[in-house]
Copies of this chain bind each other. A is one copy, B any other.
C-alpha cells in the first residue's frame, strides 16, 4: 500500500489599504506571499485588495476565512486612525478586543514606558483568543485567531511575521514546477499540441506565459504538479513538442 496522499492546504490573501487601490503604493506582498506559500506546500487560491473601510474588510474576512484553510492579511495594524484591521477581525469573529499584556511586553522591548502613548498602545489591541506573531523589527506584533493570520503591510515586517508563523501551519503536498523554454516559438504554433498534452495529463496544470521584447518572443511553458511521475511525463511531452515544432521551423 502506498502512503496516503498529503492533504491539500489552501489559503487566501487579503491586502488591506487605500494606498494600494489608489496606486500610491505598489504592493510587494502578493508576489512574495504567493511564492512563499507555494514553496512550503500551501496553495494560494485567491487574493483580494480592499480599502480601509470596516464593512468591506469584515465582509472579505468572512468570505475568505470560511472558504480556505488559512486567510492571511496584510496592512492596517499600525498606530494611526486608518489602521482598523484588528477591530475588523474582532468584529468578524464576534469577540472582544482589548490591550494585550503580552503585546505591551513585546513593545516595551523597543519603547520606554513613557513612549507608549495611546496611539502606540492601539497596536497592542488584540482580539480575545488570538496568539501573537512576533515582530522582530518594530516589535508591535501580528496575531493569529482561528485560521486568520494578521500581518503588517510593511514588506520587511510582513516577511518576518510570515517566517515566525510558518512553522505552526499545516502544509500539504508541494507543487513542483518545471519551466520549459519555448525556444522562440509563438504561442499560436504550440497551443494546439500543448492543449492536447494538458488534456491527457490529469493532475498536471500547464500554463503558457508569453513575453515580448525587442529581442523577439520568449515564451515559457510552465508544467506544475504534486505528482512527480505525472510531472515528468508531462514535461517530456512538452519538450518533445517544442523540439518537433522547432525543427519544423528551422531551415536545414
Q: Which residues of A contact B (CB under 8 A)?
A: 15, 17-27, 30-38, 43-52, 56, 78-82, 111, 115, 117-120, 122-123, 137-138, 154, 156-157, 175, 177, 187-189, 191-192, 194-195, 198-199, 205-212, 222, 224
Contacts and interface: CB of A to CB of B under 8 A. Distances in A.
Contacts of A35: 22-24
B118 A25 contact: no
Q: Tell me the number of copies of this protein.
A: 2
B80 A195 contact: yes
A70 to B, nearest CB: 14
Given A46-B50, A51-B45, A210-B154, A188 B22 contact: no
A177 B81 contact: no
Contacts of A46: 21, 48-51, 56
Contact of A22 (B56, B120, B177, B192): B177
A36 to B, nearest CB: 7
A212 B47 contact: no
Contact of A27 (B22, B30, B222): B30
A209 B45 contact: no
A37 B23 CA distance: 9
Nearest to A20: B34
A248 to B, nearest CB: 13
Given A38-B23, A82-B208, A195-B80, A119 B30 contact: no
A32 B20 CA distance: 10
Nearest to A211: B154
A163 to B, nearest CB: 16
